[in-house]
Every structure is written in C-alpha cells, then in structure tokens.
Structure 1
Amino acid sequence: MRKVLVVEDEVLIRLTLVDALHEAGFDVVDTGSADDALEIMNEQTIHLLFTDIQLPGKLTGVDLAQMVAERFPDAGIIVASGRIRPTGADLPTGAKFFAKPYRFDQIIASLKAMSRR
C-alpha cells in the first residue's frame, strides 16, 4: 500500500484529509510541522507527500517537498496554500500545487494518479 505523509498545521483540515485518504485506501501518517515530518521520513518510506506551504518551525512546505524529492525520487508530491502561490521553479519536478480552498476529491484523484507512476 502506498504511504502518504500529510503535513498540515490546521488540525481540522489535516484530520479531515486523513480520514478521506483512509477511506480512499491510502496508508496515511500525518503531522502538523515540517520538523516532525523529517523525523517520520527518517523512520518510514514515503511514497506520496501532501504538504501545506506555511508551517510552524524553520522549514516551509516547499523546503520539505524538495527534501522528499531528493530522498524519495519516485514520490508524488502535492503542495497547497491559501496565501502563497509558488512558481514552477520553487517546486520539485512533477510536483502539483493546489490553492486553498481545494476539494478533497481532487487531492485524492491526484494522489491516486501519482501512485500509479
């Protein structure tokens, strides 16, 4: 089963997305910060990443996306934000950006497509 790491500091959004991903058949681990996400990455293989851009701590979601792309080159990556719109050069190759508010069905469809690569 493909493992999705969800990194979102807004708890209600994170928990709702985690529930939707579980219902769609994904194995999900989640956290509210990039620092905690790095710890998870040290312990587990990540196949897919969903991250908000603005996160507590020193790292942004874009930083985290770059680290996941380097460590897990085949990982599918989705970056989301309601405030910041990154340029294509900011994101790893193949990463997708979603502006908030997004629809969970769009996120799930994108992650499913990425998991088939």
Structure 2
Amino acid sequence: MRILLVEDEAFLRELLAEGLKDFGLTVAQAASGSEALLRFREDRPDVLLTDICIPGRLDGWDLAECFREEAPNLPVIYVTGFPNVPMRPVPNSHFVRKPFRIPDIVALFRRPPWRSLRPEMPRRAGGEG
C-alpha cells in the first residue's frame, strides 16, 4: 500500500514515515500542500495521510479535495493536534487527533470498507505519534 504522508513538522514526519515503513507500507513524504501536489502526481498513493493545518495556501482539507478531483475515491486520514479545528463531513475518511499510536493508524489503513465509514472524531488514542 502506498501512503502519501503530509506533515510540516520534520521530526514527526520522519518518525511517522519510519513507523509506517516498519509495517511494510510504502511512504512518500511532503511538508506542504504544494509539495504534496507534486508527490501525488509522481507517486499515485492509495491513501492520503495529512495534517489538517499545514503551511501554504492549501490546508489538509483543500489538499484532499484537489486529489479527489483526480482520484474521487481516495481514502484520507486527517490528523490534527488542535482541539478546536472544525471538522468537515468527508466521505471515505477518518479523523485522528494527535498524539496517536502508529499501530492505530495502520489499523485504519487496513479497515475496509472505507466507503461506509462515518466521518467522526475517534477518542484520543495517546502514545507515540
């Protein structure tokens, strides 16, 4: 499974990418929305894992909308560390609050069927992230 990971905090992005690779996933990384747009076209990921608050003109919500113009059924996992970020009802997605555990994120990748998932904020998992 190919994951596009969008996270502006370099240490967290590297930590998460390495953790996902440990589970056998292929991970492309981007630090901003504009970088993610380039990576998306190059790597054609199976899942987008994006922080909601990223630098640049595109936030995580906007980024996913851009990708879904080309890949309408692209599953998305939205991540945020901010408690007051308004959630949007987005089909085919999950919302996760930081901090989280990498195995919990991997479980979301493998949890079919994406199309029937209700967008909601799961309880805080705690742990590494």
What residue ranges of structure 2 are gaps of 5+ in the alignment?
116-129
Contact 1:46 1:72 in 2 (8 A): no
Q: Distance in 1 between matches of 2:30 and 2:112?
A: 21
TM-score by length of 2: 0.79
Alignment match of 2:108 (pick from 87, 107, 110): 110
Task: Tell me if 1:71 matches 2:42.
Answer: no
Match for 2:98: what amino acid?
Answer: K
- Tell me, in whole angstroms, the C-alpha distance in 1 between the residues paired with 2:78 and 2:72: 16
Partner SS, residue 55 of structure 2? coil
Flag the structure with more relative contact order, 1 or 2, with Cα contacts below 8 A and sequence separation at least 6: 1
Asked whether the equivalents of residues 5 and 28 of structure 2 are also in contact (C-alpha less than 8 Å), the reply is yes
Aligned length: 114
Amino acid corresponding to residue 108 of structure 1 in structure 2: V
Letter in 2 for 1:107: I
Structure index of larger Rg: 2
Structure 1 unmatched ranges of 5 or more: none
Q: What whole-Å deviation, never above 9, does each CA across 1:23-77 have from its counterpart, x for those lacking one?
A: 1111110011110000112222121010001111110011112222232223221
- Equivalent position amino acid for 2:47 in 1: L
Aligned mates of 1:107, 1:115 — CA distance in 2: 15
Q: Percent identity?
A: 32
Letter in 1 for 2:86: P
Question: 2:110 is paired with a residue of what secondary structure?
Answer: helix
Aligned partner of 1:10 in structure 2 is 9
What is the TM-score of this pair, normalised by structure 1?
0.86
Q: Which residue of 1 aligns with 2:49?
A: 50
Please identify runs of 4+ aligned residues in structure 1 that moved more than 3 A.
114-117
Equivalent residue runs for 1:19-34 within 5 Å: 19-34=18-33
Distance (whole Å) between structure 2 residues aligned to residue 45 and residue 110 of structure 1: 19
